[in-house]
């Protein structure tokens, strides 16, 4: 079985990315490893008293993101593609690359935005960083209108 890591950000193009990843997984008899990396500063705010940490904000956000991740996993499983998911906090590029190695990924599937001719905007800074630093092949899907 081919192991495919698919980072998701719950943006408006996530569904297109997941559809493309499912299609690819079916073609290569693959298993999808969904990953979402939440920022590590979710519960922090700056106010009159400086930096403040609100754990309840972080907990609620993480809980909601986990619900979204579970929904995506269920849609993938409904297409008869094996899938599991992970939600972590931290630096997205580092965590995605570490997770890909831990899962012995054969591919990382990411999306491009196609908003302009500028490479960073076209491919996206996270996708660019992953393709630059990954020893694992990265399949970049066009997910623009």
> Per-residue pLDDT tens for 53-94?
556 666 778 889 999 999 999 999 999 999 999 999 889 999
Backbone angles phi, psi at 42, to 5 degrees: -60, -45
Q: What is the pTM of this model?
A: 0.85
Q: Which residue has the higher pLDDT, 145 or 31?
A: 31
Integer Cα distance of 59 and 57 in angstroms: 6
DSSP-derived letter for residue 29 is: T
Decide: 38 and 10 in contact? Cβ < 8 Å: no
Contact 111, 10 (CB under 8 A): no
CA max distance for the chain: 55
Tell which phi-psi region holds residue 112, choosing left (phi > 0), alpha (psi between -120 and 50) or beta. Answer: beta
C-alpha span between 133 and 92 (Å, rounded) = 13
Q: What is the Cα–Cα distance from 13 to 88, expressed in whole angstroms?
A: 21
Percent of the chain residues topping a pLDDT of 90: 62
Asked whether residue 112 carries a pLDDT value surpassing 90, the answer given is no
Whole-angstrom distance, CA of residue 11 vs CA of residue 25: 21
Statement: residue 29 has pLDDT above 90: yes
């Amino acid at each position: 079985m081919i192991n495919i890591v698919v980072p998701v950000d719950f943006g408006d193009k996530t569904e297109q990315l997941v559809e493309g990843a499912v299609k690819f997984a079916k073609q290569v008899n693959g298993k999808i490893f969904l990953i979402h990396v939440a920022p590590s500063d979710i519960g922090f705010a700056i106010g009159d008293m400086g930096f403040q940490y609100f754990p309840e904000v972080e907990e609620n956000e993480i809980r909601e993101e986990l619900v979204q991740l579970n929904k995506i996993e269920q849609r993938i499983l409904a297409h008869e593609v094996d899938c599991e998911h992970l939600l972590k906090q931290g630096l997205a590029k580092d965590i995605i690359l570490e997770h890909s190695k831990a899962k012995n990924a054969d591919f990382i599937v990411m999306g491009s935005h196609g908003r302009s001719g500028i490479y960073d905007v076209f491919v996206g800074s996270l996708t660019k960083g992953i393709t630059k630093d990954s020893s694992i092949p990265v399949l970049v899907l066009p997910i623009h209108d």
